[in-house]
Structure 1
Amino acid sequence: MKNSLALSALVLIACWLTACEDHRNSPNAPFPERINFVAERQYPEGIAYSSLLGKFVITSITQGKIGTVDTDGRYADLLSAPELISGIGVKVAGERLFVCVGDQGVSVKSTPQTAFKTAELLVFNLNTRQLERRVEMDNLLPDARHFANDLALSPDGTIYVTDSFSPVIYKIMPDGQASILVNDPRFASATFGLNGIVYHPNGYLIVAQTGAGKLYKVDLKNGNAISEVGGIASLPGDGLTLLNNDLYVVTGQGSRVAQVRSADNWQTASVVKTDENGYFQATTNVAVNNQIYTLNARIREISAAMGNTALLQSRDYSIQRFR
């Protein structure tokens, strides 16, 4: 269906083995509580932070490009590529940017061949702005609907990716080899299934199943055993960020962020705090300076515009700090 980029495996293995996500640690840096920015028709679904650039990094559902936002709210285009149809989840580790590519059919690069059929991971070099690797995952489950949504980086360079339209989590090895980690009916949904994902340093994944309103734990040290995180009422999660062992969940159709805590290694958990001020159609968040910053992305406008992308004209977005 699509051709992968051929690169030196040894070089990329060396790079990916140090793929630890950026978390800026500059407590005296002037990060405001709210950052408003203008980006024409960006509809940014994912957010990360680059210590190399000193800026937030955001994707675009509609434009097939990556941009940056500084703490003063100045937006700038960063990079693009023909393969970047629609950027969803994004992570930054040093010089490299990892972005999930899905396609809801609303991008300027969407085609009948890619819409609702795409699950890929692209790796860019932030110094050269060039595409280094393209990993296809949709071909692992042919003839199914696909939408690569979010990713988690583990310390050994392994990457885990959720698919919202197929009930699977993909595993990408440091050499770029992709496989299906788990395929489970609990992850299926008539709308959006799997969404946000984080890697826990104790050796497991936590994922949000949006349609079911549940969090699940995938134990990588125990045969990838899947268990529901108990103790929580319905919590339809979008983006997830783990900070100081608390999980910050964008929920309520993007209207709030819930701080979730576990005392038993995420067998069960509870909501300890909810911030409901300053969020509007938010998608996901990122940890910066030991704080959580959430992207207000106007995400519900995407669903409303299906079949009529001329409706997608928004230009005003924001990044809100959890309080």
Structure 2
Amino acid sequence: MKTDYTLSIFLVAIGIGLVACEDHRLSPNASFPERVNFVAQRQYPEGIAYSAQLDRFLVSSITQGKIGAVDINGNYTDLITPPELISSMGIKVADGHIFVCNSDQGVSIKSTPQTATKTAELLVFNLNSLLLERRVDLDDLYASPRHLANDLALQPDGTVYVTDSFAPVIYKVTSTGQGSVLVSNPLFSSATFGLNGIVYHPNGYLIVAQTGAGKLYKIDLNNNNAISEVGELPTLPGDGLTLLNQDLYVVTGSGSRVAQVRSTDDWKTASIVKTDEVGYNQATTNVAVNGSIYTLNARIGEISAAMGNTALLQSKDYSIQKFK
């Protein structure tokens, strides 16, 4: 459906592997507040990352198809406004590159009948030049009437894993840009939103949220990609996931709270050890910075409420909340 292309410079940069994910680096230059409020007209920023190099949070945009930057004082600027990005979703920063999911829920200023609910791509930008270096088409890898690339996880060897919320599939993209289906399973199906947030665990597996089912699943990369439900949890309709100090921070409750989830048996089972419900409203996902979790209040509920009438999407006030 779309063209996949690469630049030779990217093969050199990524071929050595993602030795460190910037989302989890310490920033030596700033003391972070408990809350960052920012103004960005009609941004609706579904994804958040942090770049120590830029000393900024990076936020995506469902409605604008761009990437913005927010400093700790709440100053927002457009960072990348590429024509290829229809609706930017999950975003990560690692080793001088920005990785972002490209989708189309039909509410972007760039939406077309050909792309709406049919788009799942991985785009990679150079953090220094801000130029697009790779565009990997994923929706052609799995036959489904609907697609939505939602979130991504990075493995240290350069492999990227991408969830599709409208098709029951997780994609795999190698460090050289080859896309494939990692797993597909009816467990990931949903009449509304299926797979959502995803993280890579250094013990060699993925943890993924199935929003519609309210469950977390483990995909064991060292055991033929075996899928198992993380047991003993209550219903947990998760959105974004972030792993910090072996605990998983799950945005849940339709974006009204963040749950700190812990496992003592390598994620066969888990339990909620703490829930923070102060300062969250229509939140989507989070990022680890300076040993703390910061969650994006993205006004995500307005997106579903405005389907069919995008003129309703006019919000400009957003915030980033620290987990306490």
Both proteins in one fold, TM over 0.5:
yes
What does residue 287 of structure 1 align with? 288
- 1:5, distance to aligned residue in structure 2 (A): 2.1
In the superposition, relative to structure 1, how do residues 4 and 109 fare at CA in structure 2: closer, same or farther (>3 Å)?
same
* 8 Å Cα contact 2:64/2:110 also seen in 1: yes
What does residue 264 of structure 1 align with? 265
In the superposition, relative to structure 1, how do residues 28 and 96 fare at CA in structure 2: closer, same or farther (>3 Å)?
closer
In the superposition, relative to structure 1, how do residues 63 and 16 fare at CA in structure 2: closer, same or farther (>3 Å)?
farther
In the superposition, relative to structure 1, how do residues 219 and 113 fare at CA in structure 2: closer, same or farther (>3 Å)?
same
Q: Equivalents in 1 of 2:3, 2:13: separation in Å? A: 18
The AA in structure 2 aligned to 1:203 is G
What does residue 118 of structure 1 align with? 119
The AA in structure 1 aligned to 2:2 is K
What does residue 7 of structure 2 align with? 7
Q: Equivalents in 2 of 1:182, 1:240: separation in Å? A: 19
The AA in structure 2 aligned to 1:37 is F
**In the TM superposition, what are the counterparts of 1:127-146 in structure 2 within 5 Å?**
127-146=128-147
What does residue 75 of structure 2 align with? 74
What does residue 181 of structure 1 align with? 182
- 1:27, distance to aligned residue in structure 2 (A): 6.8
Local SS of the residue matching 2:44: coil
- 1:143, distance to aligned residue in structure 2 (A): 4.4
**In the TM superposition, what are the counterparts of 1:1-323 in structure 2 within 5 Å?**
1-8=1-8, 10-14=11-15, 16-18=17-19, 20-26=21-27, 29-323=30-324
Q: Equivalents in 2 of 1:161, 1:49: separation in Å? A: 19
Q: Equivalents in 2 of 1:204, 1:266: separation in Å? A: 10
* 8 Å Cα contact 1:36/1:73 also seen in 2: yes
- 1:315, distance to aligned residue in structure 2 (A): 0.3
* 8 Å Cα contact 1:168/1:180 also seen in 2: yes
Local SS of the residue matching 2:15: helix
Deviations 1:213-264, CA, capped at 9 Å, x for gaps: 0000000000000000001010000000000000000000000000000000
Deviations 1:37-71, CA, capped at 9 Å, x for gaps: 00000000000000110000000000011000000
* 8 Å Cα contact 1:90/1:99 also seen in 2: yes
Q: Structure 1 regions of 5+ residues with no counterpart?
A: none
* 8 Å Cα contact 1:51/1:94 also seen in 2: no
Local SS of the residue matching 1:277: coil
Deviations 1:142-187, CA, capped at 9 Å, x for gaps: 3431000000000111000000000000000000000000000000
* 8 Å Cα contact 1:248/1:258 also seen in 2: yes
In the superposition, relative to structure 1, how do residues 143 and 214 fare at CA in structure 2: closer, same or farther (>3 Å)?
closer
TM-score, normalising length from structure 2?
0.97
The AA in structure 2 aligned to 1:97 is I
Q: CA RMSD in A?
A: 1.3
Q: Structure 1 stretches (4+) deviating beyond 3 angstroms? A: 15-19
In the superposition, relative to structure 1, how do residues 269 and 131 fare at CA in structure 2: closer, same or farther (>3 Å)?
same
* 8 Å Cα contact 2:16/2:157 also seen in 1: no
Identity %: 74
Local SS of the residue matching 1:115: coil
